[in-house]
Amino acid sequence: MADFKNEFSWSYSRDNLFQECKREYYYNYYGSWGGWEKNKADEITRTLYVLKNLQNRWQWKGSAVHDEIERILKELVSTGKVTPLEKSKSRVTEIMRNDFRSSRDGLYWNKNGSLRNEPALFEHEYRPEIPDQIWKRNYEEVILCLENFYKSSVIEEISGLPKEVVCSIESMTGSYFSFNTELYYVKLDLAYSMEDRIKIYDWKTGSGDADELQFLIYALYALEELDFDLDKISVTELNLFENYTKVYSFTPEQIKFAREYINNSIENMKSYLSDPQENEAIMSNFPRTEDRKICELCKFQKICFDLD
């Protein structure tokens, strides 16, 4: 694999990790860099890289739902046909079964190259005693989310739309801010335009309130990168677990807040770097959180306290 440089970029999830624990942020974005080369990376880098790619069961549930909806929508947009719900459920069941087995057998430790799509569950690494009912409930919640997706208006809305108006189905997009020189990444679950309006969807698969900042960043992206007027941008949160929708629109003051927030976040992240120009970091500059509850759920817990 060709060498490539670790370039700085900003994203909502990166900011979240930075808030949670500076050391976790370091392991995730710097310490694990290059660890995909199983036979070349040193042991610590390799371990950090493998651990970085673990997902807990709630994240796995979210990924299973997001990936299946992506398949359904892509099929719908390209062929005009709606995948029957029963077919979708069988497909996701098969995928989850295979992923579970692969993760349980720890195959992710053996794979060379990117582990981004490799099944690797936090619970198999750290909590092998998790009872079967918990895994079963997790699976049933995936099915519930899919059933609620089919009951929602989304399939009907997308059916018959020309392909060109669909701006995103789970596409990760890198763009530059108008107010900062850094690259940032946004991933919209679904976005489509209707004349001068854009409708952005975000699927949620758990309970609890969504973070409005995430939706505000979607609106900022639609405003700056896709050139929609602010009053023509809406973000719809579709909670597939609790089966409700909530629509958000944003004011110029909120956009101003988002810009300031992002500028501060970038400045803060860079202030921890040993060389901000080259995006170089030294581990000892990134302190561990003192909140041990965060550590209990952290992917790096098995190695963190052995390092300096």
User: Binding residues for ligand SF4, per CB under 6 A?
Assistant: 21, 23-24, 27, 288-289, 294-295, 298, 300-301, 304
Q: Which residues contact 9 (CB under 8 A, 6 or more apart)?
A: 174, 182, 183, 184, 185
Taking the least distance from each CB to ligand SF4, the nearer of 25 and 149 is 25
Q: Which helix (H) or strand (E) holds 179?
A: none
Taking the least distance from each CB to ligand SF4, the nearer of 32 and 138 is 32
What is the closest distance, in whole angstroms, from the C-beta atom of residue 290 to ligand SF4 in the complex? 8
CB 221 within 8 A of CB 175: yes
Taking the least distance from each CB to ligand SF4, the nearer of 18 and 108 is 18
What is the closest distance, in whole angstroms, from the C-beta atom of residue 287 to ligand SF4 in the complex? 8
What is the closest distance, in whole angstroms, from the C-beta atom of residue 300 to ligand SF4 in the complex? 5
Taking the least distance from each CB to ligand SF4, the nearer of 21 and 64 is 21
What is the closest distance, in whole angstroms, from the C-beta atom of residue 26 to ligand SF4 in the complex? 8
Q: Cα separation of 16 and 293, whole Å?
A: 16
- Helical residues (DSSP H) of the chain, grouped into ranges: 12-20, 22-26, 43-52, 57-79, 85-104, 122-126, 132-151, 154-158, 212-224, 252-271, 292-296, 301-304
What is the closest distance, in whole angstroms, from the C-beta atom of residue 304 to ligand SF4 in the complex? 3
User: Which 3 state secondary structure label does DSSP give 27?
Assistant: helix
Strands 9-10 and 183-194: parallel
Q: Cα separation of 288 and 146, whole Å?
A: 38
What is the closest distance, in whole angstroms, from the C-beta atom of residue 83 to ligand SF4 in the complex? 39
Token representation of residue 122: 């936090």
* Residue labelled with tokens 């759920």: 297
Taking the least distance from each CB to ligand SF4, the nearer of 122 and 215 is 122
Taking the least distance from each CB to ligand SF4, the nearer of 156 and 308 is 308
How far, in Å, are 1, 20, 29, 44, 274 from residue 305 at the CA level?
31, 17, 18, 12, 22
Taking the least distance from each CB to ligand SF4, the nearer of 21 and 158 is 21
DSSP string over 124-167: HHH-TT--HHHHHHHHHHHHHHHHHHHHSSHHHHHTT--GGGEE
User: Which 3 state secondary structure label does DSSP give 114?
Assistant: coil
One-letter amino acid of 149: F
What is the closest distance, in whole angstroms, from the C-beta atom of residue 84 to ligand SF4 in the complex? 43
Taking the least distance from each CB to ligand SF4, the nearer of 273 and 295 is 295
What is the closest distance, in whole angstroms, from the C-beta atom of residue 211 to ligand SF4 in the complex? 19
